[in-house]
Amino acid sequence: MRGRGLYGVLHGVKPSPALAGLHPRSPQNHLANKFTFTLTSDDRRRPLPHKIIIGLGINESVRHVAMKFLGWILFFRDRLSIDTDLENDAIPFVPDIVELGYDMRPVLWVECGECSMAKLHKIAVKCPEARIWVLRESVDAAQALLKAMKKEEFRRDRYSVIALDPEFFEEVCGLVRERNAFHLFRADFDDRVLQCELNQLWFDTTFEVFHY
């Protein structure tokens, strides 16, 4: 949907934690490709770094990279990282996006795309202090996830789901190249709005937020 869409950026600051100090379990240890995003921002709440580099794992799709990129933009904060192994044997997962507290425990955990019910349940058990978010490509996908959570009787007030505009997401996936230029004009959770420019194409999109 040209002229509407969410615009995202991926993790990696000076050097990108997504590529530095990789742990053996990290999906970025075996890279099929790398995607560079040169970033600028007019949003005072999101002073983005100049550049980030996102690795594409051997078994990872460009769609997954694009979704992590968008998620990183939406949740941007200083201690946010992508594909960072927690180096904790009690937590057998590498989060797509995570914010660690000063005690190095997750306070925010974001899964991008499809995620099994078993994994979501284990994340909640292993990371009791973390708010868990799932980013999905459409309202239909988000509602299907919420329905599955209800069926499995997941604990309430632990999970939230973001639903992107599907046409916007498909267009972003088609735009992502090995080298990308991204400018953020505005990202607002209250108004559910994202305004940006990716590779010289303007997007003004909305997204939905659901709390379970």
Quote the pLDDT of residue 5: 33
83-96: pLDDT as tens digits: 999 989 999 999 99
How many other CB atoms sit within 10 Å of the CB of residue 113? Answer: 17
34-49 average pLDDT score:
96
Domain ranges of the chain: 27-211
Q: CA-to-CA distance for 82 and 36, rounded, in angstroms?
A: 14
- pLDDT computed for residue 2 by the predictor: 37
- Among residues 73, 128, 138, the alpha carbon closest in space to that of 103 is found at 128
Q: What pLDDT was estimated at residue 63?
A: 96
Residue 188 has pLDDT above 70, yes or no: yes
Amino acid at 20: A
Averaged pLDDT for residues 178-206 = 98
114: DSSP letter: -
Give the mean pLDDT of the chain.
88
- pTM for the model stands at 0.85
Q: Give residues with Cβ within 8 angstroms of 104, minimum separation 6.
A: 86
pLDDT at 57: 87
pLDDT of residue 58: 86
Say yes or no to pLDDT of 8 above 90: no
Q: In what order do the strands lie in the sheet with 97-100?
A: 80-82, 97-100, 106-112, 131-136, 159-163, 208-211
Confidence of residue 29 (pLDDT cuts 50, 70, 90): low
Higher-confidence position of 170 and 6: 170
Q: Is the separation of the CB atoms in 87 and 17 below 8 Å?
A: no
Q: Higher model confidence: residue 17 or residue 116?
A: 116
pLDDT at 162: 98
pLDDT (average), residues 113-142: 97
Region 172-188: mean pLDDT is 98
Assess whether pLDDT exceeds 90 at residue 19.
no
User: Class of 27-211 per CATH?
Assistant: alpha beta
Calpha distance 18→26 (Å, rounded): 9
Task: State in Å, rounded, how far the first CA of the chain is from the last one.
Answer: 29
Contact yes or no for 142/162 (Cβ under 8 A)? yes
Q: Helices H, strands E: what count in the chain?
A: 4, 11
Q: Is the pLDDT assigned to residue 193 strictly greater than 60?
A: yes
